[in-house]
Amino acid sequence: MSPVPQDIRRQAKSLVEAGKTSAEVGVLLDIKPGTVREWKRRYIWDGP
Protein backbone atom coordinates (compact mmCIF):
# COMPACT_ATOMS: atom_id res chain seq x y z
CA MET A 1 0.00 0.00 0.00
CA SER A 2 1.41 3.40 -0.94
CA PRO A 3 1.50 6.34 1.46
CA VAL A 4 -1.37 8.81 1.36
CA PRO A 5 -0.39 12.14 -0.21
CA GLN A 6 -0.09 15.16 2.11
CA ASP A 7 -2.88 17.01 0.30
CA ILE A 8 -5.35 14.19 1.10
CA ARG A 9 -4.41 14.43 4.78
CA ARG A 10 -4.88 18.22 4.69
CA GLN A 11 -8.30 17.82 3.07
CA ALA A 12 -9.26 15.24 5.67
CA LYS A 13 -8.19 17.57 8.48
CA SER A 14 -10.28 20.40 7.05
CA LEU A 15 -13.33 18.16 6.77
CA VAL A 16 -12.91 16.84 10.32
CA GLU A 17 -12.56 20.37 11.67
CA ALA A 18 -15.71 21.32 9.73
CA GLY A 19 -17.62 18.66 11.68
CA LYS A 20 -17.56 15.63 9.37
CA THR A 21 -17.22 12.19 10.94
CA SER A 22 -14.40 9.81 10.09
CA ALA A 23 -16.82 7.71 8.04
CA GLU A 24 -18.03 10.72 6.05
CA VAL A 25 -14.47 11.89 5.38
CA GLY A 26 -13.51 8.38 4.28
CA VAL A 27 -16.33 8.26 1.74
CA LEU A 28 -15.65 11.76 0.43
CA LEU A 29 -11.91 11.18 -0.03
CA ASP A 30 -12.02 7.45 -0.87
CA ILE A 31 -9.90 6.41 2.11
CA LYS A 32 -10.60 4.07 5.01
CA PRO A 33 -12.44 5.62 7.97
CA GLY A 34 -9.92 3.90 10.25
CA THR A 35 -7.17 5.90 8.59
CA VAL A 36 -9.01 9.12 9.38
CA ARG A 37 -9.54 8.00 13.00
CA GLU A 38 -5.83 7.22 13.31
CA TRP A 39 -4.88 10.64 11.93
CA LYS A 40 -7.31 12.30 14.36
CA ARG A 41 -5.61 10.50 17.24
CA ARG A 42 -2.03 10.87 16.01
CA TYR A 43 -2.20 14.53 15.00
CA ILE A 44 -4.73 15.57 17.68
CA TRP A 45 -7.38 16.94 15.33
CA ASP A 46 -10.56 18.37 16.79
CA GLY A 47 -13.92 17.17 15.57
CA PRO A 48 -16.56 14.49 16.09
Global confidence as pTM:
0.85
Mean pLDDT of 10-22: 96
pLDDT above 70: residue 17: yes
User: For residue 47, what are the contacts with CB-CB under 8 A and spacing of at least 6?
Assistant: 16, 17, 18, 19, 20, 21, 40
Domain ranges of the chain: 6-43
pLDDT above 80: residue 3: no
Mean pLDDT of 20-34: 97
Please calculate the CA angle 7-28-46 and round it to the nearest 5 degrees: 65
